[in-house]
């Protein structure tokens, strides 16, 4: 059994995004408790990363380099580590071995309970966390319910709140520079195929599908052209991704003299399983047909892309014999 060790980092909420990427770069399991407050699970990392104290100092130095003023707390549970970090001056590291002893003298305000419950506890004569922790757990549960019983466990430093780590964001990006400027749509689409293939391979490696594409086209005769596409349904297939970009390019009469491009996938989702088309003939891919229908619907409006159904073959009026429905509702 690994000894639980949690490192909490507290900083200004303004620095949240920057600190999150800094911590993701330094530590394996990073969870977000609140904006600007992070809990990092260090259990089992001592051989690889070193003692928690050293890790904390390294993290502190990285955060300072990133331009953030942070305080770091080390404790057995995320809750205690957070309280420790919040009570540590900025730029310092403090480690606590016994969470219950650390919390005992602190006021009830540190516990995550409603103000109403806190007031009730004060009326019962409880002033500090230690008093509350002394109460029998069963009676706390019977009287106040599960939420307060959980706070009671936290007060005893017992409840090993899980660090819910998030996957570090990964940039899926491909870039090309062309010596000779590309002047036509067809050439550009052809050249983009290589870039899209690279993105597709990258998505396939991680089991992801692209939900959004951002293409920046560098031009010799004008500023960069930025194109954003939403890919529905999300896919990693290069044909579908390239088609989406081709449609976007076709909406522009001229693209200018293109000298390079950067294609990025800012939003992904897990690739969903689908039937392998072992026996599917060409021209029977429904999702591709739906993608076309969606495009035409967006371009031409309602009442254009339709599917028919025979409602009453014996109807006396021809218009009642069939019904028309939108392919894309």
Partner 1 sequence: MANALRGATVGETGLAGAIAHIEGRFGVHALARGETSERRRGEIVIATKTSLDRVIGGGLAAGEPLAFVGPPSVGKLSLALRAVAGAQAQGGMAAWIDPTASFDPLAAERAGIDLERVMVVRAPRDAVALATASALRSEGFRLVVVDAGEQVFGGTDVDDLAPALPAVRGSPAALLVIAAKRGRRVAVPAVVFERVAWERRFDRTVGWSFSVGSARGESHIDRRAIFSLTLDGGFEGGEAPIDRAEVAV
* Angle of helix 238-250 versus helix 185-206 axis, rounded to 10: 140
Among the listed ranges 19-27, 46-54, 89-97, 313-321, the one in contact with partner 1 (CB under 8 A) is 313-321
Return d(Cα 181, Cα 217) in angstroms, integer: 11
User: In the chain, what is the greatest distance between 2 CA atoms, to the nearest angstrom?
Assistant: 88
Helix (H, G, I), strand (E, B) or coil at 271: coil
Return d(Cα 246, Cα 189) in angstroms, integer: 6
Among the listed ranges 12-20, 92-100, 143-151, 190-198, the one in contact with partner 1 (CB under 8 A) is 190-198
Q: Which is nearer to partner 1, 54 or 299 (CB)?
A: 299
- By the rule CB under 8 A, 320 interacts with partner 1: no
Q: Which of 247, 264, 266, 271 binds partner 1 (CB under 8 A)?
A: 247
Among the listed ranges 45-53, 73-81, 181-189, 200-208, the one in contact with partner 1 (CB under 8 A) is 181-189
- At 131, give phi and psi (nearest 5°): -60, -45
Q: Which of 12, 166, 230, 322 binds partner 1 (CB under 8 A)?
A: 322
Q: Which of 177, 278, 317, 329 binds partner 1 (CB under 8 A)?
A: 177
Q: Which is nearer to partner 1, 1 or 310 (CB)?
A: 310
Q: Which is nearer to partner 1, 107 or 277 (CB)?
A: 277
Minimum Å gap between C-beta 147 and partner 1 is: 52
CA atoms within 13 A on the CB side of 79: 21
Strands (E), 243-282: 258-270
- By the rule CB under 8 A, 288 interacts with partner 1: yes
- By the rule CB under 8 A, 252 interacts with partner 1: no
Q: Which of 47, 109, 282, 319 binds partner 1 (CB under 8 A)?
A: 282
- By the rule CB under 8 A, 90 interacts with partner 1: no
- At 152, give phi and psi (nearest 5°): -65, -40
Q: What is the rounded (10 degree) CA torsion for 111, 116, 118, 124?
A: -150
Q: Which of 138, 274, 286, 316 binds partner 1 (CB under 8 A)?
A: 286
Helix (H, G, I), strand (E, B) or coil at 178: strand
Among the listed ranges 20-28, 34-42, 106-114, 283-291, the one in contact with partner 1 (CB under 8 A) is 283-291
- The sign of the dihedral angle between the CA atoms of 222, 176, 171, 250 is positive
Alpha carbon of residue 241 to chain centroid: 22
Query: What does each C-alpha distance from 157 to 62, 75, 113, 163, 248 come to in angstroms?
Result: 29, 10, 16, 15, 57
- By the rule CB under 8 A, 165 interacts with partner 1: no
Minimum Å gap between C-beta 260 and partner 1 is: 9
Q: Which is nearer to partner 1, 123 or 177 (CB)?
A: 177
Q: For residues 268 and 234, is the Cβ–Cβ distance under 8 A?
A: yes
| Residue 15: both structure tokens together | 């620095």
Minimum Å gap between C-beta 322 and partner 1 is: 4
Q: Which of 253, 308, 317, 329 binds partner 1 (CB under 8 A)?
A: 308
Q: Which is nearer to partner 1, 275 or 286 (CB)?
A: 286
- By the rule CB under 8 A, 309 interacts with partner 1: yes
Q: Which is nearer to partner 1, 143 or 299 (CB)?
A: 299
Q: For residues 260 and 175, is the Cβ–Cβ distance under 8 A?
A: yes
CB within 8 Å of 306: residues ≥ 6 apart? 324, 325, 326, 327
Q: Which of 175, 205, 226, 252 binds partner 1 (CB under 8 A)?
A: 175
- Tally the residues of the chain: 329
Residues at the contact surface with partner 1, assessed by CB under 8 A: 175-180, 182, 184, 186-188, 190-191, 194, 239, 243, 246-247, 280-293, 295-296, 299-300, 303-310, 313, 318, 321-322, 324, 327
């Amino acid at each position: 059994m690994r000894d639980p060790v949690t490192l909490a980092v507290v900083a200004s909420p303004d620095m949240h995004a920057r600190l999150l990427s800094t911590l993701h770069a330094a530590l394996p399991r990073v969870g977000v408790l609140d904006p600007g407050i992070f809990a990092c699970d260090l259990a089992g990392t001592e051989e690889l990363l070193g003692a928690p104290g050293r890790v904390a100092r390294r993290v502190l130095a990285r955060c300072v380099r990133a331009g953030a003023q942070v305080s770091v707390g080390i404790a057995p549970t995320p809750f205690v580590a957070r309280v420790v970090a919040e009570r540590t001056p900025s730029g310092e590291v403090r480690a606590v071995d016994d969470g219950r002893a650390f919390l005992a003298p602190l006021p009830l305000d540190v516990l995550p309970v409603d103000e109403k419950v806190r007031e009730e506890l004060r009326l019962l004569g409880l002033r500090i966390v230690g008093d509350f922790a002394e109460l029998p757990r069963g009676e706390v549960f019977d009287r106040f319910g599960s939420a307060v019983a959980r706070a009671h466990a936290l007060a005893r430093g017992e409840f090993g709140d899980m660090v819910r780590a998030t996957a570090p964001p990964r940039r899926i990006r491909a870039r090309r520079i062309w010596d000779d400027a590309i002047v036509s749509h067809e050439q550009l689409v052809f050249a983009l195929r290589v870039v899209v293939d690279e993105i597709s391979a990258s998505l396939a490696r991680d089991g992801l599908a692209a939900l959004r594409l951002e293409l920046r086209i560098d031009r010799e005769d004008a500023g960069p052209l930025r194109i954003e596409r939403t890919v529905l349904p999300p896919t990693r297939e290069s044909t579908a991704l390239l088609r989406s970009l081709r449609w976007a390019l076709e909406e522009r009469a001229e693209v200018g003299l293109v000298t390079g491009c950067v294609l990025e996938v800012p939003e992904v989702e897990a690739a969903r399983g689908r039937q392998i088309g072992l026996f599917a003939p060409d021209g029977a891919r429904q999702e591709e047909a739906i993608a076309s229908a969606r495009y035409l619907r967006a371009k031409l409006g309602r009442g254009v892309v339709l599917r028919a159904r025979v409602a009453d073959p014996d109807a006396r009026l021809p218009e009642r014999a069939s019904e028309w429905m939108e392919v894309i509702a």
